[in-house]
Amino acid sequence: MRLPFLLKKALSPARLALALGGILLHPDCRASFWSDIWSLDGHQSTIHVEGPVAQAQLNLFYVTCWVTFIIFVIVASILAYATIKFKARTEADEHAEPPPQGHGNPMVEVGLIGGTVFCLVIIAVPTLRNIWYTYDVPAEEKANAYEVTATGYQWWFKFDYPSEQIVGAGNLTTGNELVIPAGRPVHVNLRSNDVMHSFWVPKLAGKVDMIPNRGNLLWLEADKPGYFWGQCAEFCGDSHAVMRFRVIALSPRDFEDWLSNQLKPAREVPAAAAADQPKAQFASLPLREYRTNEPGVSGLYDGVSPLDAWKAKQFPETPEDPALIAQGRALFAAKTCVTCHTVRGVPGAMGLQGPDLTHVGARSSIAGGLLDNNAEDLRRWIHNPGAVKPGNKMWVNGYVANHITLAPDEEVALVAFLQSLK
């Protein structure tokens, strides 16, 4: 008996204890990890939703689950009844002639067809209602809706704010972090710059494809201020799996504050006080070996909520080294970063291939949401982008094609500059 033997072996108490011990001792294993699994919660849970669109999708999921569960119970009960009731009990039963065969029972057949149609109708009615509901902002809320445009790139997301116009620059544009007002419907236009991507924020709404040369749309709303994880949900090339983004929902007042800061050009750190500032801001900035695609996002923020951690990023880092920042600013042009990235306020930095970096220091994530935005991860990213996000354009069309190399002190200066862009 091969199978029971294996089962017995696998379930021996010592093995179980070892396996459980291994899991419990794993560094990723923390209290919230287990409570998340138990309650089916987590960064991208579709069960613990926080907006009306995702709630409608969840309700539909439950309707389908209940209908199929009831069908399962009925079928399984009949099967169990028949199995037990008509079991062969004696030697004679085993060799008995089969009972007389019927050729269909109209009552049973009509009943089954009717039952199936009934079940499908129960699922179809809320499904159709949901298709209409989730397609676009309901008519009665249209006037209150906020509009943004999300564009998929290999492999990052651009977010445009058409209602926030900047003289000489057009739409307010951000990368990889979509900041929205909480409690207000948001109409999201979906575009793609290259291949098909898909926009998905499990706790709020999704997924809808971003298709080249075709305008798609969805709407979402966050019930209250919060920090939400999103990602591309359509295979789109090498680094599809690490094409992520965040949605940050703010109270109306915080949102207005955020907008007014974003509309400003890049922050400049006055170099006047450079002489008496500590020089070695990043003297100990480490650069260790990383695995390809190794995630840099912990999801843990030293006891504060991700939203509070994000809010803290809006303020200048302390301490800052103005001389180092000035060096980084010069390198940003000298190393031709400006040809692909816009930094409003830095002369020549008007590139549109990569994300707008005017306020990159105020974001909580970098590299398409794969890494936390801190000095260590920022250095890891610009040190070797190809190892963080294989195939990415900054590496292939930038570093490799143009033979761009960065000395260690240049990396550190660029990190200081990018971090200063609040």
Residues interacting with ligand CUA, by CB under 6 A?
152, 155, 197, 232, 234-236, 240, 243
Nearest CA-CA partner of 239 in 396, 25, 363: 396
Question: Around 52, how many Cα atoms within 13 Å sit in the side-chain half-sphere?
Answer: 17
CB nearer to ligand CUA: give 152 or 230: 152
CB nearer to ligand CUA: give 197 or 393: 197
CB nearer to ligand CUA: give 191 or 240: 240
**Cα–Cα distance measured from residue 190 to residue 53, given in angstroms and rounded to the nearest whole number:** 17
CB of 148 to ligand CUA, least distance (A): 18
CB nearer to ligand CUA: give 126 or 237: 237
CB nearer to ligand CUA: give 152 or 185: 152
| Angle between helical axes of 408-420 and 322-334 (0-180°, round to 10) | 100
Which tokens sit at 205?
A: 């709404």
CB of 413 to ligand CUA, least distance (A): 32
CB of 358 to ligand CUA, least distance (A): 24
Greatest distance between any 2 Cα atoms in the chain? 104
CB of 232 to ligand CUA, least distance (A): 3
Residue 27, amino acid = P
CB nearer to ligand CUA: give 234 or 254: 234
CB nearer to ligand CUA: give 232 or 266: 232
CB of 192 to ligand CUA, least distance (A): 8
CB of 22 to ligand CUA, least distance (A): 33
CB of 228 to ligand CUA, least distance (A): 18
CB of 131 to ligand CUA, least distance (A): 24
CB nearer to ligand CUA: give 235 or 315: 235
Collect contacts of 194-197 with beta carbons under 8 A, ≥24 apart: 194/152, 194/153, 194/154, 194/236, 195/154, 195/236, 195/237, 196/152, 196/234, 196/236, 197/152, 197/232, 197/234, 197/236, 197/243
Which tokens sit at 281?
A: 């801001």
